[in-house]
Structure 1
């Protein structure tokens, strides 16, 4: 249905006269009559009935006029939403890994309270988040890779780097007796079990790369998604695993810095190609980068 015809129908319901509609809308009475007739053909419904020398809306015409108010309001809202000069308004759906949610998203929430933009946040590993983005189930994905094992993004996505963080090797405290060296090699742990992520293979690939440089193949002993659980497994003597520098270490765990090579996690904001101009998403993405 042509929205212009719906506007004429709404005006007719309000004014009750085609002449008054024509005067208000700046068209001829004939144009009003023709457009309402075309709308009746589009809907397959009789919209007008004669009353003496005038016409009035049929019950179906009045129902359509009621619907038209909602339809026209939605069209106006869509135009406003797409207007780059308008105040951003809408809900941005975000899928991201836990560290990025804590570090990047949560600090933004307070700054959004004074705006008309809201966020819906879901915790997902990178592959899951990118799948949701490809399916248009989310608007923004926060993902990561490691410099030792870079992720390849296909041309469906637009990618913006956010921040980087160094990771070290978490080991049982008793194995690090004598103090922490300036840089720890992984070769001393060639006979230990290794703990890797259960939902993402990025850190397993990094562990394999580190071990290959040291001349051995790591034995994957356990898989855990939670970094807190990784620490618990390490403290129990069940293996060693990668942990971020700056994370508080629980009793029984020591973090050895890795410098040759450095293990660097890189965080990215990813949106669907062509979607970055949507005002609410542009606001959130811009604040994330800043």
Structure 2
């Protein structure tokens, strides 16, 4: 009988294109991946990998089995969903990943709602970047993720994933208290063409978005400081080291020495939940998406914002 975890390993090699990529994706060592594949070759009696330069490639038999593995893993997900749906209750364990400001601004209330309404459901939250969360949902390490994109930089999800809008999150520009624009009712980005910027670290989705957005306005930004946490970014602004885009979700108290100025042509992040399509029938996933969307509506209503008309996101699974 074929071992499910070994099939999952082969599927990862097919998707990531290398043993090293599969190891990174599965959070294991390359040695562990190689051992699993060697055992799978012994189980099948066929060579599944062949050397190619310094790497490897799937043989014809490897590609054939990898295609079956992808379908088998999808069917396992459907089977899990069907069994849970038959019980009709949100019980068991649910793993959620969320980016930091969503983990701070949405998840505590959503988790409290789930605990009150579904006491037999155990939910675990892990904070992570959106791109990592999507990868981990895709390969089955997470049941659900809360991720984001921007008006001018939408995210294309891999096939087999579904999503639902949670809320739209406008952003302001944080400037030092003594900045020449600190007293303005609003600004346009061109007003900041000569300023230094504080940004997210290089390689992050939001850093790339900032560069793209400013360059689209004809601004070549001078990015002087990189910081992952919004609180660190605002501390740098307070000390006079630049300006920064500051989303409102999960912002918390604005530190002394910082002024928030709205952008005249509003910029907005779109926050949404992502899950494997086959898991959408699981009562626990439906309950979690419903709780996130309900809290998102409450947060957006309190701040006068919500999902934009004609949003790209698909509806949440029915309750």
Offset at residue 188 of structure 1 (A): 3.1
Is the 8 Å Cα contact of residues 147 and 263 (structure 1) preserved in structure 2? yes
Report the counterpart of residue 241 of structure 2 in structure 1.
Answer: 238
Asked if residue 113 in structure 1 is aligned to residue 150 in structure 2, the reply is: no
Find the partner of 1:84 among 79, 83, 86.
86
Asked if residue 194 in structure 1 is aligned to residue 204 in structure 2, the reply is: no
Asked if residue 101 in structure 1 is aligned to residue 106 in structure 2, the reply is: no
Is the 8 Å Cα contact of residues 95 and 140 (structure 1) preserved in structure 2? yes
Aligned mates of 1:108, 1:203 — CA distance in 2: 25
Aligned mates of 2:177, 2:223 — CA distance in 1: 20
Structure 1 unaligned segments of length 5 or more: list them.
2-77
Find the partner of 2:173 among 163, 169, 174.
169
Asked if residue 226 in structure 1 is aligned to residue 229 in structure 2, the reply is: yes
Offset at residue 79 of structure 1 (A): 9.9
Structure 2 unaligned segments of length 5 or more: list them.
2-79, 295-319
1:138 is paired with a residue whose SS is coil
- 1:200 and 1:167, CA in 2 relative to 1: closer, same or farther beyond 3 A? farther
Give the TM-score normalised by the residue count of structure 1: 0.66
Aligned mates of 2:149, 2:81 — CA distance in 1: 38
Find the partner of 2:275 among 246, 249, 271.
271
- 1:112 and 1:194, CA in 2 relative to 1: closer, same or farther beyond 3 A? same
- Please show how residues 1-290 of structure 1 align to structure 2 within 5 Å: 81-114=83-116, 115-176=119-180, 180-198=183-201, 201-245=204-248, 247=251, 248-260=253-265, 262-290=266-294
- 1:113 and 1:211, CA in 2 relative to 1: closer, same or farther beyond 3 A? closer
Aligned mates of 1:93, 1:281 — CA distance in 2: 10
Is the 8 Å Cα contact of residues 198 and 233 (structure 2) preserved in structure 1? yes
Give the TM-score normalised by the residue count of structure 2: 0.61
